[in-house]
Amino acid sequence: MSTPAPAPQTLLVTLSGPDRPGVTSEIFATVEQCGGASVLDVEQVVVRGQLTIAVLLTSPDGCTDLRDRVVATGARLGLSATAVLGQGDNAERRGGRASVVVIGSPLTSSAVLAISSTLADEGANIDRIRRLARDPVTTLELDVSGAALERLRPALALVAARERVDVAVSPGGLARRGRRLVVMDVDSTLIQDEVIELLARRAGREAEVAAVTEAAMRGEIDFADSLHRRVEALAGLPASVFAQVREDVRLTPGAETLVRTLKRLGFTVAVVSGGFIEIVQPLAEHLGIDHAHANRLEVVDGRLTGRVDGPVVDRAEKAAALQRFAAQERLPLSRTVAVGDGANDLDMLSVAGLGVAFNAKPVVQQQADTTVNVPYLDTVLYMLGLSRDDIDEAEAAEQEQRLAVADRPRT
């Protein structure tokens, strides 16, 4: 049995100080002047103009003063520098890789302390941290190893509630990448309104319908029964009311950015609503959403009868629709994301790989995988690991493309 070769001698160089172009090249020029070396690892970050760079090298043969040379180069560049000899590469990362996304407005030091302490208590190590967004919310992504997701999610959910931040825990590694299906509720999620209340306003019964809606969303009364009660209030309205209400609908801030970005990534986007297809379908077509499923209102002789045409899209049907869409797209449920705010979304949030409670009722926040409590729907993109820079660059590229198309001469 052969004896393993001894780990090679290595040199860990760490420098920090004001950032400027050319720092990294200067460091590696110094290494090259000393006969070169094998680069095992490099980590570099800039925070408010301050650079920190760590380089792990094999120590080149015949260059006994590399440490001194690197420290001198750092001093010449105005950087503090250390160079420590050791043996071998970094320790191999443990299993249990996870991504922990933290969103705060503001993100307080006490919240970061509580989250990092909880990770340590659960035996998880923070390997890397990067900022995904700074405005209008501060978002950090923590790359974690040694995590047990079934314990980590409930433990961090308690921290999130106490510290008033949003925390999402997702599997890391390859599970973080690749195509997904994102299914959203419509009323009070994709849009700011409750469509049935907009319709009821036209019938002069908005307050009555709104009270029943609130009770249903809190889970206090059965959704199907509440829907039938509310729809009865719409009897006699002309079918032309659909076009009028479509004009009244207000998208949630960030909704268009969310859908456009997901589509650019090659994701499939769907909406499932306890509202009405007469409003939902045109909205989905306008946004480029792939699938739409909602209730249909019965119309006879050009007027609403006060009845639903067909089975009610309730919480069980919402979950079933998500599963159907996933099967159609040939995606496992682990690759699905559901976003909703009311009790009738709970089954859908439960069966999805990641269930996001968006500005949701307390009963939903308590049961969802994660919460978003800021009024920007595109914040969901951070939960998937995208940064604000990624999103803004994609938006700018699309704007340039639209302008280029508009400037083309017509033939």
187, 193, 369, 378: the catalytic one is: 187
Contacts of 63 by beta carbon, 8 Å cutoff, 6+ apart: 34, 35
Helix (H) or strand (E) holding 367: helix 362-367
Residue with tokens 């700074």: 134
185, 193, 345, 378: the catalytic one is: 185
Phi, psi angle pair for 280, to nearest 5°: -70, -45
Q: Would you say 27 and 66 are in contact if contact means Cβ atoms under 8 Å apart?
A: no
Tokens of 276: 């009405």
Q: Would you say 298 and 311 are in contact if contact means Cβ atoms under 8 Å apart?
A: no
Tokens of 147: 């995590």
Gap between the Cα atoms of 374 and 104, Å rounded = 9
Q: Would you say 228 and 245 are in contact if contact means Cβ atoms under 8 Å apart?
A: no
225 in helix, strand or coil?
A: helix
Q: Is the dihedral of CA 189, 194, 198, 199 positive or negative?
A: positive
Query: Residue 139's closest CA among 114, 180, 111, 98?
Result: 111
Tokens of 221: 């009364």
Tokens of 335: 């690759």
Q: Is the dihedral of CA 149, 151, 152, 158 positive or negative?
A: positive
Q: Would you say 144 and 97 are in contact if contact means Cβ atoms under 8 Å apart?
A: yes
Active site residue 290: no
Active site residue 187: yes
DSSP assignment string, 191-202: BSS-HHHHHHHH
Q: Would strands 9-18 and 50-58 be described as parallel, antiparallel, or unpaired?
A: antiparallel
Gap between the Cα atoms of 35 and 59, Å rounded = 10
Query: Residue 161's closest CA among 368, 351, 344?
Result: 368
**Which residues form the catalytic set?**
185, 187
